[in-house]
Structure 1
Amino acid sequence: MPPSRALYRRERSPMSGLGRRGDALAGLSERSFDVLVVGGGIVGAGVLLEATLRGYRAALVERNDFASGTSSRSSKLVHGGLRYLARGEVGIVRDALRERANLLRRAPSLVRPMPHVFPLRSQVHRLAVRATLTLYDRLGSHPAHTLVSRDEIAARDPDLARLAPFGAARYHEAQADDTRLVFATLVAAVERGAIVANHIAALRRRRWGDRVRTALRDERGGATIEVEARCVVVAVGAHFGDARADFDWRAMALRPAKGIHAVLRVTPRDANVLIRSPRDGRYLNTLPWHGHVLAGTTDTPASREEIDDPRPSAEDVAYVLDAVRPLYPDSDKRVRAAWAGIRPLINAGGATTVGLSREDEIASPEPGVLAVAGGKMTTYQAMARRTMDLVDRNIGRRRASEEAPLDDPLPPSGKRLVSDAPFTRGELEAAARDGMVETLDDLLTQRVGITLVAPDAVREHARDWAKVVAPILGWDESRVARETEDVRTRAARFAPP
């Protein structure tokens, strides 16, 4: 299931908001900045917040919509990375566990503990997993892992018991609503004076004394403005190919990898059960998510075309279903949605994408410009801190930082939009009012998130939902019709192949 709705029910004001896009465009054209962030995913949002926490004048622009790429297509996990530990990446795991604890404390309405169940295949496997988890505990994973016997499992879950002849290990990670974590981070930055704008493309850049001037194009209206900043931070994930025409990016060696997930319309368990693929031995997640099961992920090299438009193939989905079928026997008939994201992995020579590190990298292709890539959602704020440490040195000053709490910007209220997924009309209206929504796709996919779970419902109810928010967004009947047609087309891309 999604993060517990009970966590959201405390009294609080609704989303304070990202501000009005028109005001943001005016602010961009009228002001110079200390820091301009290009890229509105989780890393860019983290850098923006860290900049404001250090007292910098900061702005962020995103070519498409906020969190419209990898930051809404993740496995929804905030985790230390048990498989990284198996590869000897102890430092990455220790840092990730520390950041996991930070997020659980700072964002309790967005990040919650998630039990993990690791079925044990043999006595040797049992000993190996126990040794690994003992080290994991010592590196900072809490609560400590426990072992569950096969008999205990069989009494409660016979299907799972068949996959666990030697019992199972139970340990904890955390689960996050990735898209809302992006928005909570952006809102926290805006509350501290930052300016953000979506559907703004960063074009040419040029040095002007000790500053960088960046031409920006409004992808909705077509106007071009120039913004001046002392430092530009490029955080565009796997899309660095788009930026390399402007700068020498050879120091940033990326190897993008595609990962897909399938959303199954089955009753979820209360834990993430790790399932071993019969094809190659990789482990896949079967996470409870919004009343469904989120199954995945794959890890394959991404082509240039897939970076621009990642989609799961029928073979990708078949790979996932082959793995989860023993746990969910009717899963072939229960795929409600499938989607893909691109991981911007740091290249490590001839390794396959499966073996590439999740370390991050910060490069300076020329004075006044920093590029950050790699890493994972769990460590996004640590990446932001390291990036801003370099900005401090480049600008020649040091500002004390602080810690910002993060709240769910869209607590649910009102009637459900559909009966079998916990998205509400109140979320729809609040996002339209305060979420810098330009299109119905912005609203349903990136703000509320229902498209990634129930694209069939989006295609069926899009017009009704567009009419709900039309008075808020100032849409007339012809605009409602256009947005409805467009979002139905886009939602079809999330249907299983």
Structure 2
Amino acid sequence: MTQPVRLDADYRARAWQRLATKAFDVLVIGGGVTGAGVALDAATRGLSTALVEQRDFASGTSSRSSKLFHGGLRYLEQMNFDLVREALKERELMLTRIAPHLVRPVSFLYPLTGRGWERPYVTAGLTLYDSMGGARSTPRHKQLTRTGALRLAPSLKRDALTGALLYYDAQADDARHTMTTVRTAAAYGATVLSSARVVELLRAGERVVGAVVEDVETGERVEVHSSVVINCTGVWTDDIQTMAGGRGRFHVRASKGVHIVVARDRINSETGLILRTEKSVLFVIPWGTHWIIGTTDTEWDLDLAHPAATRADIDYILEHLNAVLNVPLTHDDIQGVYAGLRPLLSGESEDTSQLSREHAVARPQPGLVSIAGGKYTTYRVMAADAVDAAREDIGGDVSDSVTEFIPLSGAEGYPALVNQVDRLARHQDLPVWRINHLLQRYGSLVHELFALAENDRSLYEPLPGAEEYLKVEVVYAVTHEGALHLDDILARRTRISIETPHRGIESAEAVAQLVAPIFGWDDERVARAVGAYHSRVEAELESQKELADSEANAERLSAPDARRIPVSRTPESP
């Protein structure tokens, strides 16, 4: 069992020194789930590995997904059986071996709206889904009458369904899962850095031999040499391929997906819902004391770092959901909104909902491998494929992937801790629900949080404005999980920015005061950080009043960026 690594200030300083002085087998660009998976895959093959991310780990698509590990029922309808089978295998691995502390089953009600053909059609699909691996660690689907369905979901209109089926998938906090994958890679020897931006690729003739990396926090630059660079930048894939001087073997288009978050009591249901729309499907997903509802699927060609949700996006979700609810939701019920960009492989269709969700790996020139497309659920397979493609540049005898057998940090011993919840609650003098909350976010790493609070019981106090979280979680985000800015903590290490009506504004001051001694911030720096976070939230709220993407994008970009990275795209430069 490997020892977890603390991603604190000392680690960051050592990591920068390693980047400047060591030649690596693999340099990974991009700290989303794919890049994190590649770093873990490469490190566990015994390859010297570095991972750099220009913003925060999971700051892009990997913190803004539907937060599901699922096979994808609609891919079954599209006859893409291989993708569904592969995804269901990965879901099972996450539930049972790789991340049982982070990934858990979730049920969905599939309402039937017609009579005759619809029930046997959907039943055939779910039977196939179960037989392809969907019912190994979760129950098989169930048939429900209208009365049975309404018993589970009383919020549904009686005339909105004629019956239903209940089936299971799995869910996870995507940002926490990605961060844990990064830390696991570090535990196996990978050098991992956020706020580390690639500004140039190093070349020897036509071969890529590394990159110039800039510390976004200080402006310092170092040359990082490697046998191969693996481009895992999602919607920025084409930018890195252009930086290399080539056009690449494939291109990526961004599709915007918007979700809203409402309090759990706004929809009376014991299960999640999956609703068909004219374009795709709409999920209503249980999320602790909330529901996540989405998503949309529209093309986006504006700023890639801060995609903005419009009022039109939100109205689309509300319209389709309210069509089946007894008590409609309004804008006043919304406690959080987030928008993410799916990196889709370009195809002939102009409709982003028809572009490929499968991934592609290419080696456009010696020393550079690009991977794009795919879905969160299959990140591990994508990572293995990318490292396999890099063998030609690494040389020697590169081992096969072993990540199928590698639990993420916090998974070891987790089942035993679940059985000891009452004892842990007594020992830490915390309610059982608090211990469960911590275990489902940190697994067996929870002992690191206990150690932080051992000499300072005040860290077990609830965080002002977000009482479901403890102060110790904020401190831990900085001392162990590499958080550098308030939005890293409020939007990703915790999900306060989408789980509270104030979007984290009422917690920002308390968070800043907690981390100030660790960062060495004075009162002026605290005020500046809190002000920047307030500006971010205000800009997001204003953007969500606009109807058009261009206006929403302009509103969102009116707030200063904590990391001061140039805007990636403007309306004038698609």
| TM-score, normalising length: structure 2 | 0.80
Shift of 1:15: 6.6
* Conservation of the 8 A alpha-carbon contact between 2:4 and 2:187: no
Distance (whole Å) between structure 2 residues aligned to residue 16 and residue 225 of structure 1:
23
One-letter identity of the residue aligned with 2:80: E
Residue in structure 1 matched with residue 18 of structure 2 by the alignment: 27
Residue in structure 2 matched with residue 128 of structure 1 by the alignment: 121
Q: More deviation in 441-450 or 475-484?
A: 441-450
Q: Which runs of 5+ in 1 are unaligned?
A: 1-11
* Conservation of the 8 A alpha-carbon contact between 1:311 and 1:493: no
Structure 1 position 45 matched with structure 2 position 36? yes
Distance (whole Å) between structure 2 residues aligned to residue 128 and residue 424 of structure 1:
47
Distance (whole Å) between structure 1 residues aligned to residue 526 and residue 246 of structure 2:
44
Q: Per the alignment, do residues 270 and 159 of structure 1 end up closer, same or farther by CA in structure 2, a change over 3 Å counting?
A: closer
One-letter identity of the residue aligned with 1:154: L
Deviations 1:290-338 (A, max 9, x none): 31111100001111x1424301010000000111123352343201121
Residue in structure 2 matched with residue 196 of structure 1 by the alignment: 192
Q: Per the alignment, do residues 163 and 405 of structure 1 end up closer, same or farther by CA in structure 2, a change over 3 Å counting?
A: farther
Identity across matched positions, percent: 36
Residue in structure 2 matched with residue 299 of structure 1 by the alignment: 297
Structure 1 position 18 matched with structure 2 position 7? yes
Residue in structure 1 matched with residue 287 of structure 2 by the alignment: 289
One-letter identity of the residue aligned with 1:300: T
Shift of 1:252: 1.6
Deviations 1:138-189 (A, max 9, x none): 2111132111111223345433262653211111110011001111101111
Distance (whole Å) between structure 1 residues aligned to residue 493 and residue 386 of structure 2:
27
* Conservation of the 8 A alpha-carbon contact between 2:359 and 2:371: yes
Q: Per the alignment, do residues 415 and 164 of structure 1 end up closer, same or farther by CA in structure 2, a change over 3 Å counting?
A: farther
- SS of alignment partner, residue 369 of structure 2: strand
Residue in structure 1 matched with residue 107 of structure 2 by the alignment: 115
Residue in structure 2 matched with residue 432 of structure 1 by the alignment: 478
One-letter identity of the residue aligned with 2:7: L
Q: Per the alignment, do residues 446 and 350 of structure 1 end up closer, same or farther by CA in structure 2, a change over 3 Å counting?
A: same
Q: Per the alignment, do residues 375 and 289 of structure 1 end up closer, same or farther by CA in structure 2, a change over 3 Å counting?
A: same
* Conservation of the 8 A alpha-carbon contact between 1:14 and 1:430: no
Shift of 1:463: 1.0
Distance (whole Å) between structure 1 residues aligned to residue 464 and residue 334 of structure 2:
17
- SS of alignment partner, residue 262 of structure 1: strand
Q: Per the alignment, do residues 354 and 122 of structure 1 end up closer, same or farther by CA in structure 2, a change over 3 Å counting?
A: same
Match of 1:137 among 130, 143, 149: 130
* Conservation of the 8 A alpha-carbon contact between 2:256 and 2:342: yes
One-letter identity of the residue aligned with 1:118: Y
Distance (whole Å) between structure 1 residues aligned to residue 21 and residue 328 of structure 2:
59
* Conservation of the 8 A alpha-carbon contact between 2:466 and 2:496: no
Q: Per the alignment, do residues 270 and 195 of structure 1 end up closer, same or farther by CA in structure 2, a change over 3 Å counting?
A: farther
One-letter identity of the residue aligned with 2:225: E
Shift of 1:205: 1.5
Residue in structure 2 matched with residue 470 of structure 1 by the alignment: 516
Distance (whole Å) between structure 1 residues aligned to residue 292 and residue 142 of structure 2:
24
Distance (whole Å) between structure 2 residues aligned to residue 472 and residue 270 of structure 1:
42
- SS of alignment partner, residue 197 of structure 2: strand
Distance (whole Å) between structure 1 residues aligned to residue 466 and residue 506 of structure 2:
14
Residue in structure 1 matched with residue 526 of structure 2 by the alignment: 480
Q: More deviation in 350-359 or 205-214?
A: 205-214
Shift of 1:475: 1.6
* Conservation of the 8 A alpha-carbon contact between 1:266 and 1:334: no
Residue in structure 1 matched with residue 335 of structure 2 by the alignment: 336
Q: Per the alignment, do residues 163 and 383 of structure 1 end up closer, same or farther by CA in structure 2, a change over 3 Å counting?
A: farther
Shift of 1:255: 1.9
Q: How does 1:353-368 map to 2 (within 5 A)?
A: 353-368=352-367
Q: Which runs of 5+ in 2 are unaligned?
A: 411-440, 451-459, 546-574
Structure 1 position 56 matched with structure 2 position 56? no
- SS of alignment partner, residue 356 of structure 2: coil
- SS of alignment partner, residue 231 of structure 1: strand
| TM-score, normalising length: structure 1 | 0.92
Distance (whole Å) between structure 1 residues aligned to residue 290 and residue 3 of structure 2:
27
* Conservation of the 8 A alpha-carbon contact between 2:33 and 2:379: yes
Distance (whole Å) between structure 2 residues aligned to residue 332 and residue 211 of structure 1:
50
Distance (whole Å) between structure 1 residues aligned to residue 467 and residue 113 of structure 2:
34
* Conservation of the 8 A alpha-carbon contact between 2:359 and 2:372: yes
Distance (whole Å) between structure 2 residues aligned to residue 345 and residue 457 of structure 1:
29
Shift of 1:400: 4.2
* Conservation of the 8 A alpha-carbon contact between 2:252 and 2:344: yes
Residue in structure 2 matched with residue 7 of structure 1 by the alignment: none
Q: How does 1:66-77 map to 2 (within 5 A)?
A: 66-77=57-68
Shift of 1:288: 1.3
Q: Per the alignment, do residues 155 and 69 of structure 1 end up closer, same or farther by CA in structure 2, a change over 3 Å counting?
A: closer
Q: How does 1:303-452 map to 2 (within 5 A)?
A: 303=301, 305-325=302-322, 326-327=324-325, 329-396=328-395, 397-402=397-402, 403-406=405-408, 407=410, 408-409=441-442, 411=446, 414-417=460-463, 422-452=468-498
Number of aligned residues: 483
Distance (whole Å) between structure 2 residues aligned to residue 468 and residue 163 of structure 1:
52
One-letter identity of the residue aligned with 2:272: N
Deviations 1:244-272 (A, max 9, x none): 23331341222211100111134253422
Match of 1:170 among 145, 149, 166: 166
Structure 1 position 205 matched with structure 2 position 201? yes
Distance (whole Å) between structure 2 residues aligned to residue 271 and residue 401 of structure 1:
37
Q: CA RMSD in A?
A: 2.3
Shift of 1:42: 0.5
Q: More deviation in 473-482 or 365-374?
A: 473-482
Residue in structure 2 matched with residue 5 of structure 1 by the alignment: none
Distance (whole Å) between structure 2 residues aligned to residue 356 and residue 211 of structure 1:
30
- SS of alignment partner, residue 17 of structure 2: helix
Shift of 1:18: 2.6
Shift of 1:351: 4.5
Q: More deviation in 319-328 or 404-413?
A: 404-413
Q: Per the alignment, do residues 110 and 494 of structure 1 end up closer, same or farther by CA in structure 2, a change over 3 Å counting?
A: farther
Match of 1:184 among 180, 194, 214: 180
- SS of alignment partner, residue 309 of structure 1: coil
